[in-house]
Amino acid sequence: MTAAADEDRDTIDKVTNGDYDAFETLVNKYEGRIYRHLRKLVGDNQQAEDLLQETFLNAYKGLAGFSGTSAFSTWLFRIATNNALMFLRKNRPEIVEYIDGIASAGDVEIVPGSPEFVSTPLEILLSLEGRKKIEEAIDDLPALYRSVLVLRDVEGFSIKEVSVIMETSVAAIKSRLHRARNAVRATLGSYYRERKLSSLRRDPIET
């Protein structure tokens, strides 16, 4: 992350010195990840596109104030996350305020691991159908949990960076991540168990 942050620093300096093309370099580098994050958070392509534009415009205007104490990517994702949560609080407050069973029940229920899930080859888990299931399992999470899981496990930010992006304590991030991962794990485990059972019903010889 440090090397990447340094690399961005040079580009940022060019932008603040009036080089607009350098800003487009940053946009090209991060637009895919920011768009993916926004789509996951708001669940709507058009809205994600509006927020994508708003996020980069905010970044451009605020770039002179970027201190560099965190990586540029952390700072950018913080703007995107704030914009998305602000939009959800205004337009779909039930999604942000909604704290379902996995949040309020104290200890999250840990369902047993599914051998059918674990033994499924990666090419099936990451097939078109498999990817759709991953998307659906993540989409089922409440927004704040979804955001933490996407930032940590999809975008690869550290726990500390996620806590900076979400403006939440490290302990709260860890707790949300634990619950989010286990909820997704339970959904996928149950799907692949059922998938295996269905295939056995169709073809009892298969083991």
Tell me how far, at minimum, the Cβ of 10 lies from another protein, in Å: 16
Task: Write each residue from 66 to 105 as x if it is in contact with another protein (CB under 8 A), else as -, in one continuous string.
Answer: ----------------------------------------
Q: What is the DSSP letter of 108?
A: P
Tell me how far, at minimum, the Cβ of 160 lies from another protein, in Å: 10
User: Does residue number 36 form part of the binding site for another protein (CB under 8 A)?
Assistant: yes
d(CA 3, CA 1): 6
Residue pair 55/39 in contact (Cβ under 8 Å)? The answer is no
Interface region with another protein, contact rule CB under 8 A, candidates 45-53, 67-75, 77-85, 93-101: 45-53
User: Does residue number 182 form part of the binding site for another protein (CB under 8 A)?
Assistant: yes
Q: What dihedral do alpha carbons 66, 72, 74, 80 form, nearest 10°? A: 80
Residue of 10, 69, 104, 122 interacting with another protein (CB under 8 A): 122
d(CA 14, CA 159): 30
Tell me how far, at minimum, the Cβ of 205 lies from another protein, in Å: 26
d(CA 63, CA 82): 16
d(CA 29, CA 23): 10
d(CA 59, CA 53): 10
User: Does residue number 114 form part of the binding site for another protein (CB under 8 A)?
Assistant: yes
Question: String of b and e for 13-38 (b: at least 16 CB within 10 Å)?
Answer: ebbeeeeeebbeebeebbeebbbebb
Residue of 29, 103, 125, 196 interacting with another protein (CB under 8 A): 125
Residue of 14, 29, 33, 196 interacting with another protein (CB under 8 A): 33
Sites of contact with another protein (CB under 8 A): 15-16, 20, 23-24, 27, 31-33, 35-36, 40, 49, 52-53, 56-57, 60-65, 107, 110, 112-115, 117-118, 122, 125-126, 130-131, 134-135, 138, 149-150, 152-154, 156, 159, 174, 177-178, 181-182, 184-185, 188-189
